[in-house]
Amino acid sequence: MGVGGRKNARRAGPTDRFARMTEASSIVEAGRGTILVINGPNLNLLGTREPEKYGTSTLADVEQLAASAGEQHGFAVECVQSNHEGVLLDTIHAARQNAVGIVLNAGAFTHTSVALRDALAAVQLPAVEVHITNVHQREEFRHHSYLSPVCAAVIVGAGVFGYKLAIDYLAEVL
Point out the catalytic residue in the list 54, 111, 136, 163.
54
163 is known as an active-site residue: no
How confident is the model at residue 138, as a pLDDT?
A: 77
Strands 76-81 and 101-105, how do they pair?
unpaired
131 is known as an active-site residue: yes
Q: What is the pLDDT along the chain (174 residues), one digit of tens a residue?
A: 343 433 333 334 444 444 434 333 333 333 899 999 999 999 999 999 989 899 999 999 999 999 999 999 999 999 999 999 999 999 999 999 999 999 999 999 999 999 999 999 999 999 999 999 988 777 786 778 999 999 999 999 999 999 999 999 999 999
CATH topology of domain 15-21+32-173: Rossmann fold (3.40.50)
**CA–CA gap between residue 173 and residue 120 (Å, rounded):** 17
Question: What are the structural domain ranges in the chain?
Answer: 15-21+32-173
pTM (2 d.p.)? 0.81
**CA–CA gap between residue 63 and residue 78 (Å, rounded):** 9
How confident is the model at residue 50, as a pLDDT?
A: 85
38: Cβ–Cβ under 8 A, 6 or more apart, which residues?
A: 79, 80, 81, 88, 91, 92, 102, 103, 104, 105, 106
Say if CB 79 and CB 66 are below 8 A apart. Answer: yes
Point out the catalytic residue in the list 93, 131, 144, 163.
131
How confident is the model at residue 144, as a pLDDT?
A: 84
First to last CA, the chain: 45
How confident is the model at residue 10, as a pLDDT?
A: 32
How confident is the model at residue 25, as a pLDDT?
A: 37
How confident is the model at residue 110, as a pLDDT?
A: 96
**CA–CA gap between residue 171 and residue 162 (Å, rounded):** 14
